[in-house]
Chain A
Amino acid sequence: MNDAAPLILIIEDDAPIRRVLHSALAAEGFRLVEAETMQRGLIEAGSHKPDLIILDLGLPDGNGVEFLRSLRAWSAMPVIVLSARTLENDKIDALDAGADDYLTKPFGAGELLARVRAQLRRHHRVAEQAVVAFGDVQVDLVCRQVLRGDEPVALTPVEYRLLTVLLRHAGKVLTHRQLLQEVWGPGHVDRSHYVRLYVGYLRRKLEADPARPAHLVTETGVGYRFVL
C-alpha cells in the first residue's frame, strides 16, 4: 500500500458487508477507513478527507440523506450509496441530496470495483474538454455542434441543453428531478415525462440502437446515467 493509493471511507453497520467491502477493495490496493455509524462516519470524513465514500443507507443512527447534506456542505467528494432493491425513494432522495451513484444489494465485487473506479476517475478528470466523443458521436461544446460520423446532427435547444447536462455529469446518476431542474428550471420538477420524452429524442438521434442504449442509460425508477 502506498500513499498515492486512493483512500476510501466505508460507512456500514453490518459487519459481514463491511468485511466483503474491505476484502474486495483492499485486494485492489485501496486504502480504507471504516465507520459503523453515521456520526462516526462524519468525523472520519472530516479528519481523513477520503477520496471516496461508500455509504449504507440503512444506518441505525440516521438516514443517509442527513449525512449527505452535512457532507455536501463542505465537500464534493464522490459518494456511492448502498441500498436494498425495493427502496427506490431512498435512493432518489440520496441522489438528490448529492450522492453520485448507488449499488443495490446483493452486488458482486466486480460491480463494486467498477463503480468505485468510475467515480474516482470521474472526479479526477480535471478540466472540461472542449470536444467529448462517445460511440460514433462527437460533441463540440465550444462550437455547440454535434456530429454523428461525419454528419451534423440537428438538436433542438432543449435537447442540446439536456445533452450538455448529461455530459457534464457523465458517469454520475442524475435523477429526473435534477435533470428537470437543470434543463427546464425549478418550476418543472414534477414533470418527469418531459425528461423521458427528450431522452427518447436524444437516443433516437445519437444511439446506435435506441431500444438498447449504450450511453444514455436508464436507471429504472431513478433517472439516467451517461456512460462515455
Chain B
Amino acid sequence: MSDSRPDPDQLLARLQDEAARAARGKLKIFFGASAGVGKTYGMLAAARVQREQGVDVVVGVVETHGRAETEASLAGFEQLPRKAHEYRGRTLTEFDLDGALARKPALILVDELAHTNVAGSRHPKRWQDVEELLAAGIDVYTTVNVQHLDSLNDVVGGITGIRVRETVPDRVFDLADSVVLIDLPPDELLQRLREGKVYLPDQAEQAIQRFFRKGNLLALRELALRRTADRVDGDMLQYRREQSVSSVWQTRDSQLVCIGPGTEGERLVRRAARQAAQLDAPWHAVYVETPALQRLGAERRKAILAALKLASDMGAETAVLADADPVQAVARYAREHNLARLLVGASASGSWAFWRASFATRLARHAPDLDVVQAARDDAAAQPSALSLSEPGQRFAAWHAPASAWLASVAACAVAAAVGGLLHPLVELTNIGMLFLLAVVLVGVRYGRGPAVLAAFLGVAAFDFLFVSPKFSFAVSDAQYLVTFAVMLSVGLITGQLTAGLKYQARVATHREARMRALYEMSRELSGALLPEQIAEICARFVGQTLDARPALLLADDADRLRSPLYGHAGGQGSPNVTDGPMVDMGIAQWAFDHGEPAGAGTDTLPAAPLLYQPLRAPMNVRGVLALEFKDPRRLLAPEQRRLLDTFSSLVAIALERVHYVQVAQDTTVQMESEQLRNSLLAALSHDLRTPLTALVGEADVLANALTATPTNAARGTHPPDTKLRDTARAIRDQAMRLGALVNNLLDMARLQAGQVQLNLQWQPLEEVVGSALTLAAPLLGTRTVTVDLPPELPFLEFDAILMERVFYNLFENAGKYTPPGSRIALSARVAGERMEIRVADDGPGLPRGREEAVFEKFTRGARETPVSGVGLGLAICRAIVEAHHGRIRAENRAEGGVCFVITLPLGTPPAMDPEGEPLRALPGDDAP
C-alpha cells in the first residue's frame, strides 16, 4: 500500500522542477545523426505549423548554406538581423542575443546549437545564448548532431576519426522539453550527398570521404537512435516516478572518477558522464594533488583543471584533494560521499615502474569494499605519464632542490669525513661509516631525497676513498663494504621520501590553516564593519593576502544599477586610491549582478575578460559585484580556489546586507520621528486655525440670521431687520469661509509636499467624484454651465476619492475664477491605451501664451496681475495629487479659445466585478426586478 506512494522528496523535486519550467521557455531539439539529414528543414516545417496557429515566430539564425529547399521554406518568416562583430580586422556576423531578448517573440529558431560564437560575444557558446533565451521565457527550436554531444564526442571521434571541437553539454540535451529525431537511412543520405544536396564545411576532400562512409553513417545513426532512446527511457522513468508505477528503486550507482596527471583525464570524464547519465546517478570527479604534482608543468596542470571543469560542466561534483597518498585520499573521499564505484585511468604496461602495482591495483587492495573500474587505455593518449595518479611526476619532482641544499649535502659529507679523520685512530671503521650514515639522514630530513642521495653517494665515495683500505683509492678490498654502501644509499632514499611527504603535509596544513585564519579574521572584522567603505577595505586586504588578486567592490543603488567601484585600498594607507583598483567593465559587472551569476575570466560568460566578476549574493538580495583581477588567472580554475572565493563573497555579501539593513533601520527611525513631528504639527495647526474660523463663520451666520426678516424674529420682537448690517455679517462669513479654504489649501500642500500622504486607494467610478465636486463647486460656478460626458462603459479607476474630488473641485473653482459668467465648461473622459484621459475644457480667455506649464507651480497664477483673489495653489495641488496617483496633468490652450486641462491616469487592473454571480451590465438592465 504505502510502497505505491511517491517519495515526498521526489515529489517536491518534481514540483520545483515544474515550477522552474513553467517560467522558462520550452526547448525543442531537432536531433540528427550527421549533417545533411534535414534537421534545419524539419525545424522550419515545425515552425511553420506554429506560425500558422498564430504563434509569434522569429528566425534567430538559420544556416541555409545556399540550399534552395531550405531557403524556400525560410520564406515568410520574420528574420532577426545578425549582429556584426569586429574580429581581427574582419567583420563577422553572429546571432544577436540582445536583439532577440528585446524582440521577445514567443518562439525563436536558433540553428546549430553547438556553434561556437565569435570572440567578443557575451557567451562563448551558442547553447549558452539559448539558455538565456529560455530563461527569458522564450521558446526555442534548435538543431544538433549526435557528434556534438559532449559525452559522445570522443566515441564519434573514435568511429569516424574526425573530432569536432564544438560540443554541447549533455544536460542541455537531457533537459530539453522535447527532442525530435530526424532520421534518414544512410543510403538515402549518400544519395543526397552525391546529388550535392548536402552542405559540407570547407574541409579536406579526404576527410569528407572518410566521414561519409556507409559504415560511419550506420554507426552514427545507431548512436543517434540510441541516445534518443535513452532520453525516451529517461522520460519514461520520470513518468513512472510521477505515476509511482514501480515500487522498486535500486540504490543509486554513484561513482567517482579519479583524474590522474596524464592526458587521459578528459576521456575518463566523458566516459564517467556517459555512464552516470545511463545510470541516472550522481557522480564526482577528484584530482589528488600530491607534493610532487604540485610542481607539475603549467600545461599539464591546466589540462587537469580543464578536465575537472569539464566534469563540473557535465554535472559532476568536483574536488581537489591534497594528500601525499592518492590511494588513501581517494578511498576516504569515496567513503565520505558514499560512492561505491571508482573509475580510474589504466596504467600502461611495460612501464619502468614495474615493481610497483598500478594505482587501480593499489586502490583495490586498500579499499576492498569499493568497486574499482579501470578504464581501457586510449592508444592515442597513452603515454608513459598516463600511468597512474602520481608516480612519475613525484619521482621527477622529488629530485628538485635548491642549489644550497646540494652544497649543504656536500658540506655534511665533508664534516663527516673530517670528524671521521679525527676519530679514525680511536674507533672501528664501521662506526666511521655510521657517521656518514648520520650525515645522510640529516641531509635527508633537512633537504629531501635528492640531496640525501647525493650525500649517500658522496659519503660512500669518501668513506671508501679515505678510510677503507686501500686508502686514497676507490678500489675495495673487502666485499662486505658493498653492503655498507647499499644501506647508506637506501637510507638516503627512504629518509628523503619520508621527509618530502611530511614537509608537504605540513605545508598543506599551514596553507589551510592560513586560509581558515584569514577567513576567520575577515569574518570577525566584517562583523564589526559599519560602513560599506570599511567592508571594501577589509575585502581588499583579504583578497590581496589570500587570493593574490586586486579587487574592486561595486555596490548597487536603489534602482539596481551598479555604482562606480568602491576601490579597496591597502590597510591604513589613507583615502581610497583610484589607481589601486583594476579597470572594471561596468557592462559585464551589471550582467553578473542582474543574473546573479559570475561572469568574466574563468566563467562561461565572456571568459575573455581580464577580470572575474563575482556577484555578492546575500540571503535577501544580490548586494553588488566583486571584480577581481588575478595575478595568475590559472588559479581561477582550481575548485578549492573557487570555493574559497564563494565563501568569501558570501561573507562580504552578508556583511553588506547587514550594513544595508542597519542603514534602513536608522533611516526609518528618523523618517518616522520626523513624520510624527510633522503630523502633530499639521494637526495642531489645522485644529488651531479651524476652531476660530468655525466660530467666526458660525457667529456671522447667527448675526445675519438675526438681522433677517423672518417670522420668528418678528414674533420675538427683535430689532427691525437692518439689511446693511446683515450684508456686513454675510461678508464676514464669506471672507471667513475663504480664509478656511486657503488654510485647507496650504495644509494640503504642506502634506502633499512632504510626500507623506497616505492614499486611500479604492476602485471607483470617476462619475462619483466628478458629481460631488460639481455639487461643491456649484456656488462658485454661478451661471457657467458644465457638461459632463462620462460614457457608462468607462472602467473603474483606483484612486483616493477625497483627493481626486479636490482635483476636480480646484479645476472647477479655477474655471469659476477665470472665465466670464455664462462660459461653457466641458468634462469628458476616454480610455487611451493603458491610461484614462480626462479633459476639462472651458471657452474662456485661455492662458497667456507660454504659461501653460507655469500655472502648475506653487504661488503662480496665469496672469501676474489680476483682480481675482487667490494665491495660486489650486493647480499645484492638482498636480501633486495627480502625480501621487502616477498620473499626469497638463494645460493646453484650445484652438477654438479657452483652456483645456488634460489629466491622464493609469488604468491598472480593476478587481472582479461579479458580486453574487449577478449578470453585469453597464447600461440599465432589461431583466425583471
Asked if residues B929 and A156 are in contact (CB atoms below 8 Å), the reply is yes
Whether A16 and B695, one on each chain, are in contact in the complex, defined by CB atoms closer than 8 angstroms, is yes
A-chain residues with CB within 8 Å of residue B919 when the two chains form the complex: 156
Q: A106-B736, A220-B802, A221-B801 are in contact. Are A200 and B765 (CB under 8 A)?
A: yes
Residue of A nearest to B734 (CB): A108
Measured CB to CB, the closest approach of chain B to A115, in angstroms, equals 13
Q: Which chain B residues (587-620) contact chain A, with CB distance < 8 Å?
A: none
Give Cα A16 to B702, complex, Å: 13
**Can you report 29 residue pairs joining A to B where beta carbons are below 8 Å apart?**
A16-B695, A19-B695, A20-B694, A20-B698, A24-B702, A86-B747, A86-B748, A106-B736, A110-B705, A154-B925, A154-B928, A155-B925, A156-B918, A156-B925, A158-B915, A158-B918, A188-B915, A193-B763, A193-B764, A196-B764, A197-B796, A198-B915, A204-B924, A211-B771, A211-B774, A211-B790, A212-B788, A218-B772, A220-B801
Kindly state whether residue A21 has any CB partner on chain B within 8 Å.
yes
Asked whether A127 is an interface residue with its Cβ less than 8 Å from the other chain, the reply is no
The answer to whether the Cβ of A131 comes within 8 Å of any Cβ in the partner chain is: no
CA distance A81 to B680 in the complex (A): 22
Closest partner residue, chain B, to A146 (CB atom): B929
A112: Cβ under 8 A from any B Cβ: yes
Closest beta carbon of chain A to B295's beta carbon, Å: 74
Q: Which residues of B contact A198 (CB under 8 A)?
A: 915
Given contacts A88-B760, A204-B924, 18 further A-B contacts (CB under 8 A): A14-B691, A16-B692, A27-B702, A58-B687, A105-B691, A106-B698, A106-B736, A108-B733, A154-B926, A193-B911, A197-B765, A197-B913, A205-B924, A211-B767, A211-B788, A218-B771, A220-B769, A220-B802
Q: Which of B701-746 contact A (CB under 8 A)?
A: 701-702, 705-706, 712, 733, 736-737, 740, 744
CB of B768 closer than 8 Å to a CB of A: yes
Shortest A117–chain B CB gap in Å is: 14
Q: Does A160 contact B (CB under 8 A)?
A: yes
A29 contacts partner chain B, Cβ-Cβ < 8 Å: yes
A17 within 8 A of B: yes
Partner of B702, one of A23, A145, A212: A23
Q: Is the CB of B697 within 8 A of A106?
A: yes
Question: Which chain A residues lie closer than 8 Å to B69 at the CB level?
Answer: none
- State whether A196 and B698 are in contact (beta carbons under 8 Å apart), knowing that A156-B925, A184-B916, A212-B774 are contacts in the complex: no
Identify the closest chain B residue to A176 (Cβ).
B762
Return chain A residues, CB-CB under 8 Å to B796.
Answer: 193, 196-197
Q: Mark A210-221, 1 if CB is under 8 A from B, else 0.
A: 111100011111
Pairwise interchain contact B705-A27, C-beta atoms closer than 8 A: yes
- Given contact pairs A156-B925, A184-B916, A221-B760, A108 touches B697 in the complex (Cβ within 8 A): yes
- When distances are taken between beta carbons in the complex, the residues of chain A under 8 Å from B698 are 17, 20-21, 23-24, 106-109, 112
Q: With A84-B687, A145-B929 in contact, is A201–B913 under 8 Å at CB?
A: no
Question: A194 contacts the other chain (Cβ, under 8 Å)?
Answer: yes
B910 to chain A: which residues have CB within 8 Å?
A: 193
The CA of A108 and the CA of B733, in the complex, are separated in Å by 8
Cβ-defined partner of A107 (8 Å) among B697, B699, B788, B918: B697
Q: Which of A1-35 contact B (CB under 8 A)?
A: 14, 16-17, 19-21, 23-24, 27-29
A191: interface (CB < 8 Å): yes
Q: How far is the CB of B515 from chain A (nearest CB, A)?
A: 58
CB–CB A192/B695 < 8 A: no
Q: Mark A141-166, 1 if CB is under 8 A from B, else 0.
A: 00011100000011111111000000
Does the CB pair B694–A107 fall under 8 Å? Answer: yes
Is B161 located at the chain interface by the 8 A CB criterion? Answer: no
Q: Does B690 contact A (CB under 8 A)?
A: yes
Mark B residues whose CB is within 8 Å of A.
686-687, 690-699, 701-702, 705-706, 712, 733, 736-737, 740, 744, 747-748, 751, 760, 762-765, 767-772, 774-775, 788, 790, 792, 796, 800-802, 805, 910-911, 913, 915-916, 918-919, 921, 923-929
A17 to B770, CA, bound (A): 32
Whose C-beta in chain B lies nearest to the C-beta of A196?
A: B764
With a cutoff of 8 Å between Cβ atoms, the chain A residues found around residue B694 in the complex are: 16-17, 20, 105-107
Count CB-based A-B contacts (< 8 Å): 169
Rounded to whole angstroms, the CA-CA distance of A38 and B251 in the bound complex is 78
A167 to B301 Cα, complex, angstroms? 91
What's the least CB distance linking A105 to chain B, in Å? 5
Taking the complex as formed, is A85 at the interface, i.e. its CB lies under 8 A from any CB of chain B? yes
Give the CA-CA distance A23 to B700 in the complex, in Å.
Answer: 11
Q: Which residue of A lies closest to B915 (CB)?
A: A194
Interface string of A117-138 (1 = CB under 8 A from B): 0000000000000000000000
* Contact status B744-A85, CB under 8 Å: yes
Are B913 and A193 closer than 8 Å at their CB atoms?
yes
Report the nearest A residue to B747, measured CB to CB.
Answer: A86
From B692, B764, B772, B775, name the one whose CB has the most chain A CB atoms within 10 angstroms: B764
Q: How far is the CA of A132 from the CA of B828 in the complex (A)?
A: 34
CA distance A66 to B87 in the complex (A): 80
- B123 to chain A minimum Cβ distance, whole angstroms, is 49
Min CB–CB distance B709 → chain A (angstroms): 14
Which residues of chain A are near B916, meaning CB under 8 Å? 158, 184
Closest Cβ neighbor of A214 among chain B residues: B775
Query: Known: A24-B702, A86-B747, A157-B929. Is A201-B924 also a contact (CB below 8 A)?
Result: yes
Q: Does B768 lie within 8 Å of A196, measured CB to CB?
A: yes
- Decide: A109 and B702 in contact? CB cutoff 8 A: yes
Q: Are B771 and A154 in contact (CB under 8 A)?
A: no
Judge whether A17 and B699 touch: CB under 8 Å. no
Instruction: Report chain B residues within 8 Å CB of A220.
Output: 768-769, 772, 801-802, 805
B698 vs chain A, min Cβ distance (A): 3
The 6 closest A-B pairs by CB, nearest first: A20-B698, A109-B701, A16-B695, A106-B694, A211-B788, A193-B763
Q: Given A88-B760, A106-B693, A204-B792, is A154 in contact with B915 using a C-beta cutoff of 8 Å? A: no
Shortest distance from the beta carbon of A166 to any chain B beta carbon, whole Å: 15
Q: How far is the CB of A209 from chain B (nearest CB, A)?
A: 8
> Are A17 and B691 CB-contacts (below 8 A) given A196-B796, A204-B924, A210-B767?
yes
A117 to B751, CA, bound (A): 36
Specify which chain B residues have a CB less than 8 angstroms from the CB of A21 in the assembled complex. Answer: 698
Name the A residues within 8 Å of B923 (CB-CB): 204
- The CA of A156 and the CA of B705, in the complex, are separated in Å by 47
Q: Please name all residues of chain A whose beta carbon is closer than 8 Å to the beta carbon of B706 when the two chains form the complex.
A: 27
Bound CA–CA A217/B768 (angstroms): 9
Name the distance in Å between A151's Cβ and chain B's nearest Cβ.
Answer: 11
Given contacts A194-B915, A210-B767, contact A110 B701 (CB under 8 A): yes
* Residues from chain B with Cβ under 8 Å of A192 in the complex: 762-764
Do B740 and A106 touch (CB < 8 A)?
Answer: yes
Complex interface: chain A residues within 8 A of B769 (CB): 218, 220
B911 neighbours in A (Cβ, 8 Å): 191, 193
* Chain B CB within 10 A, most for which of A29, A112, A212: A212
In the complex, what residues of A have CB within 8 A of residue B921's CB?
A: 201
Contact A88 B929 (CB under 8 A): no
Tell me which of B737, B801, B927 contacts A156 (CB under 8 A). Answer: B927
Interface centre among A155, A184, A192, A197 (most CB of B within 10 A): A197
- B806 shortest CB reach to chain A, Å: 9
List chain B residues, Cβ under 8 A from A200.
Answer: 765, 767-768, 792
Which residue in chain B gives the minimum CB-CB distance to A204?
B924
**Known contacts A14-B691, A24-B701; A184/B771 CB under 8 A:** no
| A226 CA / B916 CA spacing, docked (Å) | 24
Complex interface: chain A residues within 8 A of B913 (CB): 193-194, 197
Partner of A191, one of B690, B915, B918: B915
Residues of B within 8 A of A106 (CB): 690, 693-694, 696-698, 736-737, 740
Distance between Cα atoms of A84 and B763 in the complex (Å): 25
Question: How distant is the Cα of A159 from the Cα of B921 in the complex, in angstroms?
Answer: 12
Interchain CA distance A205-B927 in the complex, whole Å:
13
Shortest B874–chain A CB gap in Å is: 16
B804 CB to nearest chain A CB (Å): 9
Question: Which residue of B is nearest A13, CB measured?
Answer: B691
Residues of B near A16 (CB, < 8 A) are: 691-692, 694-695
The interface residues of chain A lying within 8 Å CB-to-CB of B767 are 200, 210-211
